[in-house]
Copies of this chain bind each other. A is one copy, B any other.
C-alpha cells in the first residue's frame, strides 16, 4: 500500500529545521518588521513595505510594495484605498490561512481549498468622539472558514484551532501590544 503524498505547498521540514536551529540561537529569532508611510492629501496615505531585520541581518522582500489607504466617500473622503481598519482584517485572514496550510501539511492533511470571510464590527461613535464609553476600534471580529478536504470536520477544526494558537496577528489583535509614538 502506498501513502498518498500530501502537498499543500508548505515546506514544513524547513520550518522544523528552523525551530531546531533557533532553539540554540535566540538572538537570531529577534525580528524587526518595518513600514514607511507618506501622507498624500486629506486622509490618503501610501505605506511602503520592503526590508526587515531577522536571522541576525537585513533582509528584503523580492519587491517593495506600496499600499494606499484612505477613508470612504461617505466620510467625505476620496476612497483612494481601503480604510486603515480593513488592513487589520487582511492581516488576520492571511495569517490564519497560512497557518491552516502549514498545520495541515504537518499533520498530513491534504487541502483542496481554504476560504474565509471576516467581519469586524465597529461603532463609529468612538472615533467621532460622540460617546467616550464607545471604543475606537473593533468591538468584535468574526472569522468563518470554509475548507474543502477529505479530512473529518473535527480534524479540520483542530487544524484551525492550532493555527489560531500560533498566529502572530491573532495574538496582536486579541492581546495588548505596547505602541510608542514619537515626533522627531
Q: A108 on the interface (CB 8 Å rule)?
A: no
In the bound complex, residues from chain B placing their C-beta under 8 Å from that of A70 are 98
Provide the A84-119 mask, 1 if CB < 8 A to any CB of B, else 0. 111111111111111011100000000101111111
Known interface pairs A19-B129, A125-B26, A183-B160; A85-B33 also in contact (CB < 8 Å): yes
Bitwise, A131-170 to B at CB < 8 A (1) or not (0) is: 0000111111111111100000100110011001011111
Tell me if A30 counts as interface (CB < 8 A to partner B).
yes
Most chain B Cβ neighbours within 10 Å, of A33, A124, A178: A33
Q: Which residues of B contact A73 (CB under 8 A)?
A: 62
Contacts A170-B179, A171-B135; A125 near B72 (Cβ below 8 A): no
A129 to B12 CA separation, bound complex (whole angstroms): 13
Q: With an 8 A cutoff between CB atoms, is A37 at the interface?
A: yes
* A44-101 with Cβ < 8 A to chain B: 44-45, 47, 49, 52, 54-55, 59, 61-62, 65, 67, 69-77, 79, 81-98, 100-101
CB neighbours (8 Å) of A36 from chain B are 93, 115-118
When the two chains form their complex, are residues A180 and B101 in contact, meaning their CB atoms are under 8 A apart?
no
Bound together, the chains give a CA A86 to CA B37 distance in angstroms of 13
